[in-house]
Structure 1
């Protein structure tokens, strides 16, 4: 692969395999590249035997390769020719970890906005108490109002035990 700035031979382009089926792959560049470099990358992929088409998507920094032969063979040949180094897409973190991080950020944001007067758990408890009051106003004491009030008290009880 040629470097956009100097015209010299550069290191292989580092790509992540984002999606692959039997005869098609979408690869994303690890670092942004100019339009000319992307065009040369597409030409390099197109020169691999069995490749039908190689398209670049400058807006997403990705390359789509379609082939007659199995895509694994095409990617192996690209690595052998030295113009691309292809790695696997990094694994996404577990959903519970993402949720915990989001809740922690929301809690910190709420504390920041209220000067530590209110945290997320207390805000949710207040919303549940508000819902219980609305249900009481509608005359629904036994079912919804009690359930909402007990949920709020449970949250407030946990907050008191933590703090």
Structure 2
């Protein structure tokens, strides 16, 4: 690998190695997670709580197990988050008519009011975050990230159910 630097850049000439790509993606992901949580933390909300509310809204009345897989957290974490949101009257558990062993989640009226504020913050902060990218760059970024996610996900073992 060449140690020559590209003029005006801190990285060596030539295409980045897999390790350099992984390092750059991990650093960026860490910074994005910290930055993305700021508007919620100012209101006393955890990012996990916000992501769960958004996921339930997008999915309709999802099974708790499906959310666990979708959010990449343990069943215990989902249960704890749902317990807190249910105690606040934002979510409620419902029986799954198609599977007596499953529990579905539903957003309450109070939860929908809360969700309106979450969505407004989420949308505004996402535009602040990605406003530096052109439409073409946004499209390319989503395409590349989707392709990378599918590539990696295809090599993971099946999750335990």
With the length of structure 1 as denominator, give the TM-score of the two structures. Answer: 0.28
Higher strand share: 1
| Higher Cα radius of gyration | 1
With the length of structure 2 as denominator, give the TM-score of the two structures. Answer: 0.28
Higher helix share: 2
